[in-house]
Amino acid sequence: MDVLIEIDSGHHKLKIGVETITGKADTPWVEGMICKHQHGVLTDKLLLVAGEGFYEPAKAKARLHRVETVELEKAETLDWTKLVGQYAKLWFASVTLSPKKVSLTVEGLPDSASEPGLDVSPKTRVFSADGLRETSLISVVHQSLRNAQVLKTVYDREDRETLSRFDVHGTPAEGCYVLDRQGNPRVVTGFHVWGSLTFSISPFDVETSSYRGAAVGYGSFTIDGKDALATIIEEPGSKPKFSVNLSNSENDPGRIIDLDDDVNGEKACHEN
């Protein structure tokens, strides 16, 4: 290896390996460097520097394996800290919000917490604005609590791991109405929900591979007593896709959660 750079990042010391070539880098050279670092020196990130640039097939091969390519003149002004293994370490955070009490704000009536003309319970029927779909109030609340901003508010708090309660004001994701005691429709303009909260976080190392032209990262961890396998898939020209498979036992196939949709309050977070 031509150069080894060590950078302190949080609780971890990360290593960048640098390999150089004076001429123009071709695919065999790139493949050789990738093989060398996969089976030889252990580094968190590999950077290839070529004096006369890279052939396109060579650059494509490097991208496939998450290897950075830089021309010599650009390497002199490079911000090395931005090259530290982007997915060498991830955190998986789980936020569970359990609603205990809900009040509604509807057109034509004051706050339902003190208004006898409107019944509010988890089973309260909620209708879509066009009246064609029906669901329950608890379903509407759960859908609203999955909003990414609600979860981010919890994650951004320094005391997040000690939180036990939440208190959220919000609006339904789409227009809807409920019926008052006289059977008249009342448009829901907002809700106020209280409940219990649990927050869990688990770090894990990421292994890398490739499959059918896509770069693949994966790592296993345990959170809330469940075994989990996180997967990152990144295709050239596309944003990375995150998912996790959660299982309760060794033989349980588990369930796959698409983390790009912020489902069930679970989200993968990059380590800074």
Q: How many angstroms separate the CA atoms of 252 and 255, rounded?
A: 9
pTM of the full structure = 0.53
Contact criterion met (CB below 8 Å) for 42 and 15:
yes
Q: What is the pLDDT of residues 188-241, one digit of tens each?
A: 988 889 999 988 888 887 776 666 666 777 888 888 777 888 888 877 667 777
Q: How many angstroms separate the CA atoms of 86 and 80, rounded?
A: 12
How deeply is 126 buried, as exposed, middle or buried, from its count of CB atoms within 10 A (0-12, 13-18, 19+)?
buried
Give Cβ neighbours of residue 183 (< 8 Å, ≥ 6 apart).
none
40-44, 205-209, 258-262: the lowest-pLDDT one: 258-262
7 to 15, 39, 72, 83: CA distances (angstroms):
6, 22, 21, 10
Please state the φ and ψ torsions of residue 89, each to the nearest 5 degrees: -145, 130
Residue 90: pLDDT over 70: yes
Residue 111: pLDDT over 60: no
pLDDT at 269: 40
pLDDT at 125: 92
Residue type present at position 236: P
Q: What is the pLDDT of residues 155-201, one digit of tens each?
A: 888 888 899 999 988 888 788 999 988 888 999 988 889 999 988 88
Give Cβ neighbours of residue 114 (< 8 Å, ≥ 6 apart).
none
Q: Which residues pair with 187 in a beta bridge?
A: 177
Q: How many angstroms separate the CA atoms of 249 and 101, rounded?
A: 33
